[in-house]
A = this chain, B = another copy of it.
């Protein structure tokens, strides 16, 4: 059973455990401060003719990597929830088409992994499903081509811009006890503060992160210090600053996967990393092991997404943000 608290938060009465995780990243992510955490590193094009084919290969390989770490077969998986940044989410559907598992496609931009974990909590708490895999991916070159300008053009990047992380990863969630537990989830709302600069995703997403975090705390009557860390997905350095200013979250509690994954000076990544794969890989390979090792006991993972397309930006639509929160405790 999921038990509703306040407006948007649901406490998992039936345990939802993160049993295993996996992530495959590109060379830039490997060269960053968290490089040693990730399961595998592969070239961004992974020997494929196109970036899109490479991204599908990443997500396919990440799924098999994840399954290979478990004692389960694909037949044991009740459902795979997945999404990415490509038009019509083709990286996921092509990458996972041979999995033969029931499939629910998601679009939550960079919030996808948290959206998947929220939905998976309900799937498991309904009593119907026992084993769900949540996946997400992004690829620097395919995202640049889709959203901005071709990489070969060498366009200048403003200080607020973020580098899309090349990574695909996933988590196996199960009703069977073992590992960190998802204790509650907060389903986010679309929040729009009229940001129109597609090179400043952090500003577009920070108000949504703030809304979801404050709602989560108020719904459960908690303060941020209940958690060892409140971890946002990919606000980057700019967006993290805005979030802390809005919410009063201190730097000792707030961490951001996008701000952590690259060294902004050495790697010249401006405001940090972004993309569905960013929060997914950092949660899977950095925070999950910390929870397993007991270095952290309670975290709130808040993946954030910017709901836009190049067409919507060209048509002067503002960029909305959304954030979903997942409380993980051990």
The reply to whether A312 and B90 contact each other, CB–CB distance below 8 Å, is yes
Cα–Cα, bound, A125→B322 (Å): 25
Contact with B along A94-123 (1 / 0, CB 8 A): 101101111111111100000100110011
Q: Size band of the A side of the interface?
A: 35 or more
A8 interface residue per 8 A CB criterion: yes
**Interface SS of A by simple majority:** mixed
A89 interface residue per 8 A CB criterion: yes
Q: Would you list which residues of chain A between 137 and 193 have a CB under 8 Å from chain B?
A: 146, 187-190, 192
What distance in Å separates the Cβ of A206 from its nearest Cβ neighbour in chain B? 16
The reply to whether B50 and A315 contact each other, CB–CB distance below 8 Å, is yes
The reply to whether A88 and B128 contact each other, CB–CB distance below 8 Å, is no
A79 interface residue per 8 A CB criterion: yes
When distances are taken between beta carbons in the complex, the residues of chain B under 8 Å from A4 are 78, 128-129
The reply to whether A126 and B90 contact each other, CB–CB distance below 8 Å, is no
Cα–Cα, bound, A119→B125 (Å): 12
When distances are taken between beta carbons in the complex, the residues of chain B under 8 Å from A103 are 187-190, 322
Cα–Cα, bound, A165→B3 (Å): 39
A200 interface residue per 8 A CB criterion: no
Known: A122-B123, A126-B126. A320 touches B97 (CB 8 A): yes
Cα–Cα, bound, A127→B13 (Å): 10
* Partner-binding segment picked from A25-33, A39-47, A244-252, A303-311: A303-311
When distances are taken between beta carbons in the complex, the residues of chain B under 8 Å from A308 are 88, 90
When distances are taken between beta carbons in the complex, the residues of chain B under 8 Å from A312 are 52, 88, 90, 94
The reply to whether B115 and A122 contact each other, CB–CB distance below 8 Å, is no
Cα–Cα, bound, A308→B108 (Å): 18
Known: A97-B320, A122-B126. A315 touches B102 (CB 8 A): no
Cα–Cα, bound, A105→B109 (Å): 9
The reply to whether A320 and B106 contact each other, CB–CB distance below 8 Å, is no
The reply to whether A118 and B90 contact each other, CB–CB distance below 8 Å, is no
Cα–Cα, bound, A107→B310 (Å): 18
A1 interface residue per 8 A CB criterion: yes
What distance in Å separates the Cβ of A312 from its nearest Cβ neighbour in chain B? 5
Q: Which residue of B lies closest to A142 (CB)?
A: B311
Q: Would you list which residues of chain A between 253 and 308 have a CB under 8 Å from chain B?
A: 307-308
What distance in Å separates the Cβ of A126 from its nearest Cβ neighbour in chain B? 4
Give the contacting residue for A1; candidates B115, B122, B126, B187; CB below 8 A.
B126
The reply to whether B1 and A128 contact each other, CB–CB distance below 8 Å, is yes
The reply to whether A105 and B104 contact each other, CB–CB distance below 8 Å, is no
The reply to whether B83 and A107 contact each other, CB–CB distance below 8 Å, is yes
CB<8 Å pairs between A and B, sample of 15: A4-B128, A4-B129, A87-B87, A87-B146, A90-B317, A93-B190, A97-B320, A100-B189, A102-B187, A103-B189, A104-B115, A104-B187, A105-B108, A125-B126, A125-B127
In the A-B complex, list the 5 residue pairs whose CB atoms are closest, starting with the nearest.
Answer: A2-B128, A93-B307, A88-B309, A2-B126, A102-B187
